[in-house]
Structure 1
Amino acid sequence: MTHNTSAPARRLDDGDVRVLLLENIHTDGRDFLRGQGYQVETRDGALGEDELIEAIQGVHLLGLRSTTYLTEKVVEHASDLIGVGAFCIGTNQIDLAAASRAGIAVFNAPYSNTRSVVELAIAEIISLARRLHEKSTDMHRGVWNKSAQGSHEVRGRTLGIVGYGNIGSQLSVIAEALGLRVVFYDIDDKLALGNAQRCATLEELLAQSDVVSLHVDGRPNNAGFFGEEQFAQMKDRAMFLNLSRGIAVDTTALREHLESGHIAGAAIDVFPVEPKRQGDPFESDLRGLPNLILTPHVGGSTQEAQQDIGRFVASKLRSYAAYGSTSLSVNFPEMNLRAEEGRHRVAYVHQNAPGVLARINTLFGEHGVNIVGQQLATRGELGYAVTDVATEVGEDVLTALAAMPETIRVRHLS
């Protein structure tokens, strides 16, 4: 982990904090941050790497969704950035290691859109089973195709859930209430809810599932997770859903199995490459198949979910900027902090090495700083020490802290 050579951050008054929100983040998030006195700029679309480097100059807090990528190169050019909010579940679009090395805290919304994704999955399972999308297309073409052929109830069918996290487990409960039998597979040991049954292997799940719904995260080793081998193991005329990560599925293999009729139907909401802005052209080898529902990454795109995400992530960014709180941060040591009246606070991000706290306190003592409260937490190679003191800390103290070899970032708070 490298040492951050940027100057120690002086205290930022609320009116000095600059925020950049991208990709149509809900107005509740914007309004909350503006209500704190922050300078908030919003942009509708995603930004490419060079565009983001230009836009992020002087920005302290960044909000993005799934199509803007915070790469190591961007981080290297973002000397003022202290916090990033992913206004979504996933954080694979953010180089978390680079952010940690630069002392940038990252937050997301791991629970806010769970219900919305689950409801879309249920809707698509029923639509595929009843072939509603095909019948709607026929009607728009002026064709009256009133037939029960190929249409089925979902009751009594087996749903296989791959990935039993927040979304997968809630899908399990609602699917069972509709009369589906539920099996699931997860690499971690997860508690089965209701009557769901755990499968020891993915192969065991595929062999018995009438519907397979994918709910995995975006970690790099999930790229190509579901391909030709997995599709070939699915039951004849089974259905397939991916509302998780586009990189996880081999779309060429999916198309071949849909065209052959082995897979009866599929619904895909996420893609390996997605347009950056509203209205941009969408290209995919999955286009044009009648037994395939395509949606533009709208699993969590309900007004309720986006409103909740906007408020939740914005409040996390505010708490970190103002108080140093890292509650539910995806890359920083966890520390739930509140404002303390009559105190001043120094937040010190550092390499996790023996003796750092002792050296910090020795330095404070040498400069006559009286400590009234202190917390330390570590996470992997990263350490985070928050010290409350009786009087405002001078520039000489911040400079001395910044000069310590373990220092990544120093912030002087209230």
Structure 2
Amino acid sequence: MAPKVLISDKLSEAAVQIFRDRGIDVDFLPDVGKDKEKLAEIIGQYDGLAIRSATKVTEKILENADNLKVIGRAGIGTDNIDKEAASKRGVIVMNTPFGNMITTAEHAIAMMFAVARQLPEASASTHAGKWEKSKFMGVELTAKTLGVIGAGNIGGIVCDRARGLKMKVVAYDPYLSQEKADKMGVEKVELEELLARADFITLHVPLTEQTRNILSKENLEKTKKGVRIINCARGGLVDEAALAELLTSGHVAGAAFDVFSEEPAKENALFGLPNVVCTPHLGAATTEAQENVALQVAEQMSNYLLTGAVENALNMPSVTAEEAKVMGPWIKLADHLGSFVGQMTDEPIKAINILYDGAAAGMNLDALNCAVIAGIMKRSNPEVNLVSAPVVAKERGIQISTTNQDKSGAFDGYIKVTAVTSKRERSVAGTVFSDGKPRFIQIKGINIEADVGAHMLYTTNEDVPGIIGTLGHTLGDNGVNIANFTLGRSEAGGEAIALLYVDEPVPAEIRAKLAETGLFNQIKPLEFDVV
């Protein structure tokens, strides 16, 4: 029987035809995604679900999706999909991460022109029969300094286009290497310097805990007087109320926003202010981009349903069905090792070295490499997946090297990941036991044996008495339950580490109490996706 796919949002007719040409039975019902009850009623018939942003794939929907194998999102963002619920049910979630990069970058450039020359207001005035030539005095982009926050895929294209406009480009991106910046022809700076120097600031980062309100009131007040700010990335990156105050006072000369903290944006502090250009999340809204992502998702879903090939999956590596049975736990281990390194490393990573020992060395190393790299980079970009991670790493100038070796120790096989920065090397190793569960077996060259938990606490200290008691009492007295407690040391009296698996995240105030004891050199909370 041919696989059956439901398209529940508006998608290109050409994409629909791709499914049909590949021998897939497809139902094109572009309005059903807005009807949750109807979608839940019929979803059980389908092997695949192709969507855009209107369809909300909730846990309730997935509970009825007994035959569903793959969800394909025509676009990048997958906030409308419950990925954890999908993973639990064995449903692959795919997106199309590269189909609308140019379109979004061009929109940012267009918005910069619009706010520089007050084009929307000048157009409205002229349409109204006025001729207010002297009212709309603009500024040139040539020779101005553009501050780009986030120099990844889209930000990199904006940098290239801005240089073509003869702008001076400075970029802030903690994961941008100096070598990559030199190749791009941009000046790599810290955020404080960017704020002080930029005539225009454009944002191109995902919304994470690290980037939320990156242009806070405090940071906005540090900007150059007369700055103009463009946000075509994500709502929540800018304190919109604070920006409105600075626009009103005249410190900020203009702003152009395509995204907002709450969408659909019916009301916003920026609305109605002079020289503020607003568009309704149009970054990817071009005919070419919509066609590209639609065709890509149709091809990807068809390939998976017909051949088992996995492309651009957010919750599964690119491996064959046969490999997946054996490699599943090792893929998860690789992700955990990468995530550990990524969470522990604040400065730009120059190189990632991966050692495969014994049984691990005979597996699909491309998939394992992807899992390691994705684990490292998810901290800075949650939208990175197992396919796009190597591309992102390459664009940022990160060198990836792998080494294979025969069984060399007590374990049948293990993986060791080392991240190299300009300041240090950081390494962690792990293996998979016979129960199929990943374990950490070495950190910083110190041998341990630790389960991987969703919430963990990592500490380093000199090997002195009292560490166990301090950790146990401090956490226990503050209601934090320890599920597993692992210790290790380099030698008696030398460097020691502790890795605690706890039932819930350790709050900052409790970590502060530990720091006040003076016993610890480092106290770091860690989070892992153990689903």
| TM-score with structure 1 setting the length | 0.73
- The 2-side partners of 1:85 and 1:101 are apart by 17
Where does residue 286 of structure 2 map in the other structure? 302
Where does residue 285 of structure 1 map in the other structure? 269
Q: Is the 8 A contact 1:48 1:69 kept in 2?
A: no
Change (3 A) 1:227 1:51: farther
Q: Is the 8 A contact 2:5 2:50 kept in 1?
A: no
Q: Shift of the alpha carbon at 1:151?
A: 1.0
Residue 12 of structure 2 aligns with an amino acid whose one-letter code is: H
- The 1-side partners of 2:43 and 2:56 are apart by 13
**Higher RCO by CA contacts (8 Å cutoff, separation 6 or greater):** 1
- Specify which of 21, 25, 29 is matched with residue 35 of structure 1: 21
Q: How large is the Cα RMSD of the aligned pairs?
A: 3.2
- The 1-side partners of 2:78 and 2:230 are apart by 21
* Residue correspondence of structure 1 range 7-46 to structure 2 within 5 A: 13-14=1-2, 16-22=3-9, 24-36=10-22, 37-44=24-31
Residue 216 of structure 2 aligns with an amino acid whose one-letter code is: G
* Residue correspondence of structure 1 range 10-409 to structure 2 within 5 A: 13-14=1-2, 16-22=3-9, 24-36=10-22, 37-44=24-31, 47=34, 52-54=39-41, 56-147=43-134, 150-190=137-177, 191-192=180-181, 193-199=183-189, 201-219=190-208, 222-275=211-264, 282-335=266-319, 352-353=328-329, 379=371
- The 1-side partners of 2:242 and 2:280 are apart by 20
Change (3 A) 1:66 1:245: farther
Describe the SS at the equivalent of 2:280.
coil
Q: Is the 8 A contact 2:151 2:176 kept in 1?
A: no
Post-superposition Cα deviations, 1:298-355, rounded to whole Å, max 9, x if no partner, equal 11111111111111111111111111111222221123x6xxxxxxx7686689448x
Q: Shift of the alpha carbon at 1:214?
A: 0.8
Q: Which of 210-219 and 184-193 deviates more?
A: 184-193
Residue 70 of structure 2 aligns with an amino acid whose one-letter code is: G
Change (3 A) 1:40 1:328: same
- The 1-side partners of 2:34 and 2:261 are apart by 17
Q: Shift of the alpha carbon at 1:233?
A: 1.8
- The 2-side partners of 1:163 and 1:284 are apart by 25
Q: Is the 8 A contact 1:92 1:219 kept in 2?
A: no
- The 2-side partners of 1:296 and 1:282 are apart by 10
Q: Shift of the alpha carbon at 1:292?
A: 1.1
Where does residue 441 of structure 2 map in the other structure? none
Change (3 A) 1:33 1:349: farther
Where does residue 371 of structure 1 map in the other structure? none
Q: Shift of the alpha carbon at 1:78?
A: 2.6
Change (3 A) 1:156 1:67: farther
- The 1-side partners of 2:268 and 2:242 are apart by 13
Residue 97 of structure 2 aligns with an amino acid whose one-letter code is: P
Describe the SS at the equivalent of 2:44.
coil
Change (3 A) 1:84 1:119: same
Where does residue 390 of structure 1 map in the other structure? none
Post-superposition Cα deviations, 1:256-280, rounded to whole Å, max 9, x if no partner, equal 22222221111111223334xxxxx
Residue 83 of structure 2 aligns with an amino acid whose one-letter code is: L
Residue 178 of structure 1 aligns with an amino acid whose one-letter code is: L
- The 2-side partners of 1:285 and 1:44 are apart by 33
Where does residue 397 of structure 1 map in the other structure? none
- The 2-side partners of 1:172 and 1:85 are apart by 30
Where does residue 362 of structure 1 map in the other structure? none
- The 2-side partners of 1:235 and 1:49 are apart by 48
Q: Shift of the alpha carbon at 1:150?
A: 3.5
- The 1-side partners of 2:161 and 2:283 are apart by 16
Change (3 A) 1:326 1:283: same
Change (3 A) 1:51 1:17: closer
Q: Shift of the alpha carbon at 1:178?
A: 0.6
Where does residue 399 of structure 1 map in the other structure? none
Change (3 A) 1:239 1:106: same
Q: Shift of the alpha carbon at 1:208?
A: 0.8
- The 2-side partners of 1:262 and 1:55 are apart by 55
Q: Is the 8 A contact 1:324 1:347 kept in 2?
A: no
- The 1-side partners of 2:103 and 2:301 are apart by 24
| TM-score with structure 2 setting the length | 0.58
**Greater fraction of residues in strand:** 2
Describe the SS at the equivalent of 1:183.
strand
- Percent of aligned positions that are identical: 34
Q: Shift of the alpha carbon at 1:60?
A: 2.2
The count of corresponding residues between Structure 1 and Structure 2 is 340
Q: Which of 47-56 and 302-311 deviates more?
A: 47-56
Q: Shift of the alpha carbon at 1:221?
A: 5.1
Q: Shift of the alpha carbon at 1:45?
A: 8.1
Q: Shift of the alpha carbon at 1:169?
A: 0.3
Residue 61 of structure 1 aligns with an amino acid whose one-letter code is: G
Describe the SS at the equivalent of 1:248.
coil
Q: Shift of the alpha carbon at 1:62?
A: 1.8
Where does residue 357 of structure 1 map in the other structure? none
Q: Shift of the alpha carbon at 1:50?
A: 5.5
- Structure 1's unaligned 5+ residue stretches are 1-12, 276-280, 338-344, 355-373, 385-404, 407-414
- The 2-side partners of 1:195 and 1:285 are apart by 36
